[in-house]
Amino acid sequence: MARPARGVEVLEMAREMVARAETIEQLRQAQAVVLPLDFGLSMEDTARAIGRSAEWTCRLRNRFLAGEIAGDGQRQRRGGRRRQNMTPERERQLLAPFLDRARTGGILVVGQVKVQLEAELGRPLALSSVYNLLHRHGWRKLAPDQRPPQSDEQAQRDGKENSPNSSPGSALGGRPGRSG
């Protein structure tokens, strides 16, 4: 039984692509069409021959039949911000007051950022999403200073020197006013 004209055209295009393939993916894609049609290989045997899984080989063949050529830039690659809540610029604008305050010695309260984000988006947001957002913009949780920057070290030393070693109200035997 003769193949339909469409099948013959596809086979010829695939053979031509084998000869002029510029990348290994283009060669594999053409082989995913040529090997089963010319040599009668099963999809599993074709996959073994081109070094891909049967599912990937089938996908390559179907893309060729749909007119897509592997690696020609038509198809957008995976990755990127597919589930973004807002643009990176809008994220920077929203976080700017919080991050500026944190850089000048203030405290960044994640709960306040979360409330602001929820108001902006009009829906509830997971706390992990807020932490991910802060991480994307270079914020990291730092431990507070041991001493506030505006404290007076001399006054602290004087306070330590003038304080009694033990409190006069403390009892060695436990709480005062309790009887055994």
Question: Distance between CA 47 and CA 133 in Å, rounded?
Answer: 41
**Distance, CA of 8 to CA of 37 (rounded, Å):** 10
**Structure tokens, 93:** 């604008």
Q: How many CB atoms lie within 10 A of CB 141?
A: 10
pLDDT of residue 33: 92
pTM over 0.85: no
Residue of 88, 138, 152, 84 whose CA lies nearest to 108 = 138
**Residue 12 CB-half CA count within 13 A:** 7
pLDDT band at 149; cut points 50, 70, 90: low
Is 80 exceeded by the pLDDT of residue 140? no
Which has the higher per-residue pLDDT, 107 or 134? 134
Distance of CA 41 to the CA centre of its chain: 40
- Ordered by start, the domain boundaries in the chain are 5-65, 88-136
Q: What is the pLDDT of residues 49-91, one digit of tens each?
A: 999 999 999 999 999 988 888 877 666 667 777 778 899 999 9
- What is the per-residue pLDDT across 153-171, written as a single tens digit (0 to 9) for each? 787 777 777 766 655 555 5
Assigned CATH topology for domain 5-65 = Arc Repressor Mutant, subunit A (1.10.10)
CA dihedral (153, 159, 165, 170) positive or negative: negative
Q: What is the mean pLDDT of the chain?
A: 82
- What's the rounded Cα separation, in Å, for the pair 43 and 36? 7
List of residues 6+ apart from 50 with CB closer than 8 A: 28, 31, 32, 35, 57
Contact yes or no for 136/117 (Cβ under 8 A): no
Report, as an integer, the average pLDDT of 106-117.
90
Q: What one-letter code names the amino acid at 27?
A: L
pLDDT grade for 2, boundaries at 50, 70 and 90: very low
